[in-house]
């Protein structure tokens, strides 16, 4: 009988901003969401027939179609298969109606179980799409980790993880009506908004203190006097006990604080739980798919250490390290057999350099409809129009994380500019603007070069996108910089002197190093 148990981490909102009401009745949101180690446990097992949900810790109204059942129905509908008999067992730890996404986390865990049991090749994106039909927070709960969430919350962009820290969560003994809170927002003066771009930049730097300083939630601005007083009281208590920052999560009323010292967090929890029975200690959780692919990864729940892991995690880490060490030895052995050990050592260095560069730049990728002379000329016109506006959009960006956020916000505008250019030149090609990770070969530009690898790219697709492409770097603005200005422009965007030296050919042997990246990747792929 097929059966699987997975954990369902709750979430907190590091930032939460509401941009306005949509025509479909929902609100456009911009949030930074973080999965945490406080969570429920979900078990899915084949059963004789029908769907049943058994719960520990809560009671459910009889005869009601649950979100878990709706998720199962949507999953098998997507597969084009009848729903088998299923029994779902749910052990609840996350408080309900708390702003922690506990219900969405349970639904996401059910979907993750079903994928593993019945459709292991189903992409995560498809699972997130299924989850959206059940709830707005479900796509994030399928993914986990740290994400910029936009739209209803379903447009997700992975962000650098929240640095290791302890998180204290405290739910007061009252609930907040989410629909009413959304209604209060409409037309309200919300004052200063959460700085989501600054939060993303802090995460990119791995700066926990800066991230804590950026915590913010617009729902706190529309609380009643009584509600607001209780929330402020909890925040002040967390800060008195050395929290780096504190905020309400989601539509509340749970308040959380970030700590750089676990013992301080423990003391804060002990101080609060004397008054608030629903007080918890947690830690950040990384992308769930990566964790689930490693069967030796320790459980997230229960008594947590500084990293949110059980004490048995140390033993597991040793096993994992041993496996990695064996794999490394295999790589070295093969390199020696090929007589290329020196090149491969260079490749390790160059691969790390490429990854560091990829974390600091955004490329521009314009794909022509075809290779005809007319389509190639049109490509350059679109390039010029998009590049001009993108440069203006990004001129105030301090780093790549901020640049990414600004570009995602501007994708509709950039797509419209590209489409207008196409129409103005007498063509009716469809035009798409997107921001996604793209594989690039080693490329030489005027004044600098970039190694092969995956980079975040602003992609402009014209028509069929079957013609020769145009590539450059839109952040930092190296596309428009004169050759002599490239080093200064790159340094101003946060690149190191070594990275700039490599890019600008001042470091002898760059071609060999870039080639070594490709050789190293091929060897790794052969061993996987």
Beta bridge partners of 91: 41, 56
Secondary structure, 3-state, 16-68? EEEEEECCCCCEEEEEEEEEEEEEEEEEEEECCCCEEEEEECCCCCCCCCCHH
Closest alpha carbon to 148 in 48, 13, 279, 242? 13
Nearest 10 degrees: Cα torsion 96, 101, 106, 108: 170
Query: Residues near 494 by Cβ (< 8 Å), separated by ≥ 6?
Result: 360, 398, 399, 400
**What angle is formed at CA 37 by the lines to CA 195 and CA 282, rounded to 5 degrees?**
75
Taken in order 267, 270, 275, 278, is the CA torsion positive or negative?
positive
Catalytic residue ranges = 11, 137
User: Which contiguous run of DSSP H or E holds residue 264?
Assistant: helix 262-273
| Cα 434 from chain centre | 17
- 364 contacts 473 by C-beta, under 8 angstroms: yes
For residue 496, give Cα distances in angstroms to 352, 360, 488, 509: 13, 10, 11, 18
């Amino acid at each position: 009988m097929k059966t699987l148990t997975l954990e369902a981490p709750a979430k907190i909102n590091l930032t939460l901003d509401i941009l306005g009401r949509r025509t479909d009745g929902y609100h456009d949101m911009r949030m930074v969401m973080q999965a945490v180690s406080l969570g429920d446990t979900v078990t899915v097992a084949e059963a004789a027939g029908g769907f049943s949900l058994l719960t520990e810790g809560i009671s459910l109204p009889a005869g009601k179609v649950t979100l878990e059942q709706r998720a199962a129905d949507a999953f098998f509908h997507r597969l084009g298969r009848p729903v088998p008999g299923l029994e779902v067992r749910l052990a609840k730890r996350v408080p309900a109606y708390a702003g922690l996404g506990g219900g969405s986390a349970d639904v996401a865990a059910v979907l993750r179980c079903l994928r593993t049991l019945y459709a292991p090749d189903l992409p995560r994106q498809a699972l997130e799409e299924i989850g959206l039909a059940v709830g707005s927070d479900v796509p994030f709960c399928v993914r986990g980790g740290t994400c910029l969430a936009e739209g209803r919350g379903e447009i997700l962009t992975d962000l650098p993880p929240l640095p290791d820290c302890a998180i204290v969560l405290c739910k007061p003994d009252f609930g907040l009506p989410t629909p009413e809170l959304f209604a209060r927002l409409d037309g309200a003066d919300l004052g200063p908004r959460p700085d989501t771009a600054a939060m993303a930049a802090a995460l990119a730097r791995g700066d926990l203190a800066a991230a804590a300083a950026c915590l913010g939630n617009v729902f706190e601005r529309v609380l009643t006097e009584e509600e607001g007083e209780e929330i402020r009281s909890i925040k002040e208590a967390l800060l008195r006990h050395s929290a780096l920052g504190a905020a309400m999560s989601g539509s509340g009323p749970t308040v959380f604080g970030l700590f750089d010292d676990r013992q301080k967090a423990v003391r804060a929890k002990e101080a609060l739980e004397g008054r608030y029975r629903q007080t918890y200690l947690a830690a950040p959780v990384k992308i769930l798919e990566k964790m689930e692919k490693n069967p030796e990864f320790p459980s997230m729940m229960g008594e947590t250490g500084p990293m949110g892991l059980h004490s048995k995690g140390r033993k597991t880490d040793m096993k994992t390290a041993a496996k990695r060490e064996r794999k490394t030895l295999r790589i070295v052995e093969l390199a020696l057999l090929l007589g290329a050990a020196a090149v491969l050592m260079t490749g390790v260095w160059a691969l790390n350099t490429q990854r560091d560069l990829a974390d600091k730049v955004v490329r521009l990728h314009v794909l022509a409809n075809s290779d005809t002379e007319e389509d190639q000329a049109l490509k350059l016109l679109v390039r010029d129009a998009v590049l001009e506006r993108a440069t203006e959009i990004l001129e105030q960006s301090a780093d790549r994380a901020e640049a990414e956020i600004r570009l995602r916000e501007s994708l509709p505008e950039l797509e419209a500019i590209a489409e207008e250019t196409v129409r103005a030149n007498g063509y009716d090609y469809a035009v798409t603007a997107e921001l996604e990770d793209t594989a690039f070969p080693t490329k030489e530009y005027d004044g600098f070069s970039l190694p092969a690898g995956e980079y975040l790219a602003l992609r402009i697709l014209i028509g069929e996108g079957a013609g020769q492409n145009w590539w450059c770097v839109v952040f930092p603005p190296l596309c428009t910089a004169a050759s002599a200005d490239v080093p200064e422009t790159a340094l101003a965007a946060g690149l190191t002197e070594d990275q700039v030296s490599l890019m600008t050919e001042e470091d002898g042997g760059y071609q060999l190093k870039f080639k070594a990246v490709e050789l190293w990747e091929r060897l790794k792929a052969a061993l996987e």
